Amino acid sequence: MSDLTVIVLAAGNGKRMKSKLPKVLHSIGGRSMVGHVLTAVQALEPDRVVTVVGHAREQVMAHIEQTHPHVAIAVQEEQLGTGHAARIGLSASGATTGDVLVLTADTPLLTGETLRWFVERHRSGNRAVSILTAEVPDPTGYGRIVRAHGGDVNAIVEDKDATEEQRAIAEINSGILAFDIDFLTSALPRLGNANASGEYYLTDAVKLAAEDGVRTGGYLLEDRLQTEGANDRVQLAALGQALNRRTVERWMREGVTVIDPATTWIHVDVELARDVTILPGVQLLGATIVGEDALIGPDTTLTDCEVGAGAHVARTHASLSVIGDGADVGPFAHLRPGTVLGARGKIGGFVETKNAQIGEGAKVPHLSYVGDATIGEGANIGAGTIFANYDGVKKHHTSIGAHVKSGSNVTFVAPVTVGDGAGTGAGSLIRQDVPAGAMALSAGPQRVIEGWAQAKRAGTAQAAAAEAAVAEGVLIRGERTPGEHEASHNGGTQIGDTPAGATQS
Ligand code: UD1
Ligand code: CA
């Protein structure tokens, strides 16, 4: 909108939050309250936007510079009231023509569409000042809209200054006002502070307009949640829930199946493709993106993740990770930052990954830790495998080639590299590089000490079971042994041509 200046008031301290964090930095739907308001403002494409900061200004300024770098910032050293704050904002803006939209920074459900509608009403009605109003069941604390018979607004009376009769008015000031700049410039220096709070009220400009005989307009917004502010954490949670309901409904209308909207939480910046299905207990957070036909949940939290088309992600906690098309994750998987799972790959139950690139069709199906690793396409990592990446001082990388088959319970001690098509035997401790196609076995030969239970655990159920089996001549379960024990039962090598215990999946 051309010739429009926006002033966002964010200098107050938000005492009722009882927080180290300034009120306007509390977030819902994955975005701070001031971030929501500035995003709505940005949709108007105004000429200038100024945010007035004061309380905890360093934190608020740093946040705005990061999220909305084009927004100017003005400092209100002492919080003398909304009228004083608007004056500081206006002079910082340098604006001299057009209209000025003033809003507070704590109405996170406000949309750009609503602001556009309101400014258009203000302009087409040719008003000196317009107020966006709402009707609320409990108007306590708000400024009340006092209308003249013709419908123009005569005054906004603050709760603390209102008479009994005025307190009964249900129509309230949302805190969002639009001004003709000439009127605002003339009104601001005329505001006084002789009121119950001793503050310069911006809302008193309405009374001045009525006295000046210029037109005022009060425009009622049906969707009152958009004008609701969060002053404490109870209201913050209620607005967070309302925002989430809106976000979830928006995605359902876009073709996403949500089985249980009540337990599905979706941040405002998340992107979902059509025919995604979300099962109960899912949180899609940050800048998460989910591709077509993916099935997410139940009980899954994805923060800043990218999930490919047709992937399945069940009971998983993941952040800053990429899950390829058709890949399968969980249940009970933990994907830490830097995990990249290729198309049709698998990260199965009780697997933790971090900074791990797992190739197409590669599988880490069970009970493993994969940190600082590259796993080639089609490789299969056996159950219980640990990538020992940390030597106590530094982290090191492990590289596993394409189509490697690693046995169960292998430890790869980084830095180490396993060539394409190689294998590692169950229980191996891999400290040295394994060439392509080789089989590496490090588990020692098995030692068998016959009669150990009878000798060392005499009198126990274990020893009794052993004695009974020996008496029957059944040394191996199910196999009746011939009279002579064979050498292989007594410390011979156990290595066959396939390493026992390699996990298939
Ligand atoms: C204000 C309005 C009230 C309206 C309500 C809507 C005034 C006098 N009253 O009341 O009519 O119904 O909002 O929520 O405007 N701020 C500053 N500097 C200051 C004082 C406030 O930047 O010196 C900022 C606050 O950070 C906040 C906003 O202005 O974002 C509103 O201030 P607040 O003190 O919350 O006003 P209310 O009493 O809620
Ligand atoms: Ca307020």
Is residue 486 scored above 60 in pLDDT?
A: no
Closest C-alpha residue for ligand 1 atom 22: 11
Closest C-alpha residue for ligand 1 atom 17: 11
| Residue 131 near residue 218, CB atoms below 8 Å | yes
Distance 58 CA to ligand 2 centre (A): 21
Name residues contacting ligand 1 (CB within 6 A). Answer: 9-12, 52, 54, 76, 79-82, 84-85, 104-106, 142-143, 156, 158, 172-175, 201-203, 229
Say what the pLDDT of residue 110 is. Answer: 98
- In this prediction, residue 483 has a pLDDT band, given cuts at 50, 70 and 90, of low
Cis peptide before 298 (omega within 30 of 0): yes
Is residue 492 scored above 70 in pLDDT?
A: no
Return d(Cα 371, Cα 349) in angstroms, integer. 16
Those residues whose beta carbon sits under 5 angstroms from the ion ligand 2 are: 229
Return d(Cα 335, Cα 353) in angstroms, integer. 5
Query: Which pTM value belongs to this model?
Result: 0.91
Distance 235 CA to ligand 2 centre (A): 12
In the annotation, is 149 catalytic?
no
Ligand (nearest to CA of 203): 1
Ligand (nearest to CA of 160): 1
Say what the pLDDT of residue 482 is. Answer: 64
Closest C-alpha residue for ligand 1 atom 25: 12
Distance 103 CA to ligand 1 centre (A): 9
- Residue in 189, 181, 173, 176 with CA at minimum distance from that of residue 214: 181
Is residue 488 scored above 90 in pLDDT?
A: no
Is residue 505 scored above 60 in pLDDT?
A: no
CA dist list (Å): 194 to 81, 165, 429: 12, 21, 80
pLDDT digits (tens, 9 = 90+) for 23-57: 999 999 999 999 999 999 999 999 999 999 999 99
pLDDT > 90 fraction of the chain, expressed in percent and rounded? 91
- Counting from 1 in the atom list of ligand 1, the atom nearest the Cα of 84 is 23
Distance 162 CA to ligand 1 centre (A): 16
- In this prediction, residue 490 has a pLDDT band, given cuts at 50, 70 and 90, of very low
How buried is residue 338: exposed, middle or buried, by Cβ count under 10 Å (0-12/13-18/19+)? middle
| Residue 244 near residue 29, CB atoms below 8 Å | yes
Is residue 4 scored above 90 in pLDDT?
A: yes
- Counting from 1 in the atom list of ligand 1, the atom nearest the Cα of 55 is 26
Mean pLDDT of the chain: 94
Distance 174 CA to ligand 1 centre (A): 10
Average pLDDT over residues 278-297: 99
Amino acid at 73: I
Average pLDDT over residues 305-330: 99
Is residue 105 scored above 80 in pLDDT?
A: yes
Average pLDDT over residues 60-89: 97
pLDDT > 70 fraction of the chain, expressed in percent and rounded? 95
Average pLDDT over residues 463-491: 75
Is residue 75 scored above 70 in pLDDT?
A: yes
- Counting from 1 in the atom list of ligand 1, the atom nearest the Cα of 13 is 26
Sheet holding 295-296, edge to edge: 257-258, 277-278, 295-296, 312-313, 328-329, 346-349, 363-366, 380-381, 405-406, 423-424, 439-440
pLDDT digits (tens, 9 = 90+) for 382-396: 999 999 999 999 999
Q: Which residues pair with 400 in a beta bridge?
A: 375, 418
- Counting from 1 in the atom list of ligand 1, the atom nearest the Cα of 202 is 15
Q: Which residues pair with 429 in a beta bridge?
A: 411
How buried is residue 43: exposed, middle or buried, by Cβ count under 10 Å (0-12/13-18/19+)? middle
Closest C-alpha residue for ligand 1 atom 16: 12
- Counting from 1 in the atom list of ligand 1, the atom nearest the Cα of 85 is 18
Ligand (nearest to CA of 141): 1
Closest C-alpha residue for ligand 1 atom 35: 12
Torsion of CA 91, 96, 98, 101, to 10 degrees: 0
Distance 286 CA to ligand 2 centre (A): 27
pLDDT digits (tens, 9 = 90+) for 112-163: 999 999 999 999 999 999 999 999 999 999 999 999 988 899 999 999 999 9
User: Which own/partner contact pairs does 437-442 have at CB distance under 8 Å and 24+ positions apart?
Assistant: 439/499, 441/495, 441/499
Say what the pLDDT of residue 480 is. Answer: 75
Taken in order 29, 30, 32, 36, the sign of the CA dihedral is: negative
Amino acid at 217: G
Ligand (nearest to CA of 12): 1
Q: Which two structure tokens, joined as six digits, stand for 142?
A: 């708000």
Q: How many CB atoms lie within 10 A of CB 394?
A: 9
Say what the pLDDT of residue 497 is. Answer: 46
Active-site residue, selected from the candidate residues 366, 396, 403, 485? 366
Average pLDDT over residues 348-356: 98
Return d(Cα 198, Cα 96) in angstroms, integer. 29
- Which one of 33, 50, 77, 104 would you pick to mutate in the ligand 1 pocket, going by the greatest count of ligand atoms within 8 A of its CB? 104
Pairing assessment for the beta strands 27-28 and 31-32 based on DSSP bridges? antiparallel
Distance 364 CA to ligand 1 centre (A): 55
Amino acid at 496: G
